[in-house]
Amino acid sequence: MWGGRFDGGPAKIMEEFTPSIDFDQRLATQDVAGSRIHAKMLAIQGIISKIDLDAILNGLATIETELKEGRFEFKRALEDIHLNIESRLAELAGPAAGRLHTARSRNDQVATDFRLWVRAACQRAEEGLEVLQKALFKQASAHVTTIMPGFTHMQSAQPVTFAHHLLAYVEMLARDRGRFADAAKRLNECPLGSAALAGTPFDIDRDYTALGLGFARPMRNSLDGVSARDFALEYLAACTIASTHLSKLAGEIVQWCSPGFGFVRLSDQFTTGSSIMPQKRNPDAAELVRGKTGRVIGDFVALATVVKGLVLAYGTDLQEDKERVFDAADTLEISLAVMAGMFADLAVNTERMRALANAGYPTATDLADWLVREAGKPFREAHHITGTIVKRAEELGVDLDKLPLEEMQAVEPAITEAVLKCLSVEASVAARMSYGGTAPDRVREQIAFWREKLK
């Protein structure tokens, strides 16, 4: 393609080192779409003839069909997706194909294709997150009054409802959806027409091509147009944060399935056995989701490392952007589908949750709050009194709500029989009526909110 400037061909090793067609063929649909709108614009502006336009559009239609049917032949010798499509178009359209590249460069071409692909990936991520939200919401709706232990430092802290716990993830995933929506909005400017880096002397209509490809507007600076990859970084950042949320949730499933917890049971569809231990039911799907988060984080770091030292405008270093984005997209999308599948048929052991919710004196804070509210104690003093009472309950081997009243009064005479009404896990949960709290009445409000949002 650039033979006029070179006397010799590339070294043999370069034929293995430089081609990108093995991965950028995933941009084929976007490349055809960009070529189609570019050709139409050139014809409207009188830069190419109607005859050439028809030949180009007919050829692109054939290529599109071949791509859909899996009949398009990708050739490594042609280096990238742009040259592969251009070469095939030349076979179909003849000399007219050579006019298609007027007023554009592979630099603005790939930047446009890539933005189109990432924009669609943002939409797919949003949809996958919504499916998982709905699966979590369905489980939450069934467990508004199911009590489980809430943890800090992986120690039993205060009782909460299972619905409240699951809705925390629904909130996280909503923020993840917002990040993808924001990324899609911010990237929705069109580089096409920036040419190699400086624009073009041809009288092109960049508004026409931008709007024709669904962009909000053309990019205002041609240097920025061909070189910017912050849209890919922002997409990867959103993938990274979403993946860490999935990893957190997957880690909980791994714990909840273990005999020490026994909170849930995964179906056979999302567990595997052991080659040597016949009793095992391993939560491999959840473990893989947790493990694959490292890939997504690595993809973000890899691309950030590539672009951190690049000067304007385009450098072939940017060939490294696509594999990182493709890998993160594939990983996130399948992880979302797997997580949604796991929660769709998750079996919950409510009795086991309730039993462990009472372990570790989780209503101690309720006792301290009672001392503040009813006995007028400063909270720090109430905290000290409660700690002493908990220590006595440990010595006697009883739960806090089963500790004899006289034992509590021996520590603090102001304690009355009324305190016993607030020391059960049910009473503790019901008392958490502050906005965003775990009380079933508050959780029902959130269920109603999310039912409307997710319908």
8 A C-beta contact, residue 32 and residue 65: no
Q: Which helix (H) or strand (E) holds 217?
A: strand 217-218
**Other C-beta atoms within 10 Å of 212: how many?**
18
DSSP string, 43-94: HHTTSS-HHHHHHHHHHHHHHHHHHHTT-----GGG-SHHHHHHHHHHHHHG
Quote the CA–CA distance of 328 and 294 in Å, as a whole number: 10
Residue partners of 366: CB distance under 8 A and separation at least 6: 422, 423, 427, 428, 431
Residue listed under structure tokens 């102001």: 414
Quote the CA–CA distance of 132 and 120 in Å, as a whole number: 19
Quote the CA–CA distance of 341 and 76 in Å, as a whole number: 38
Buried b / exposed e over 186-206, threshold 16 CB at 10 Å, is ebbbbbbbbbebebbeeebbb
Q: Residues with catalytic annotation?
A: 153, 274
DSSP state of 310: P
Quote the CA–CA distance of 45 and 205 in Å, as a whole number: 7
Q: Which helix (H) or strand (E) holds 156?
A: strand 155-161
Quote the CA–CA distance of 50 and 10 in Å, as a whole number: 38
Q: Torsion angle, CA of 31/33/39/42, rounded to 10 degrees?
A: -100
Q: Coil, strand, or helix at residue 431?
A: helix
How many residues belong to the chain?
455
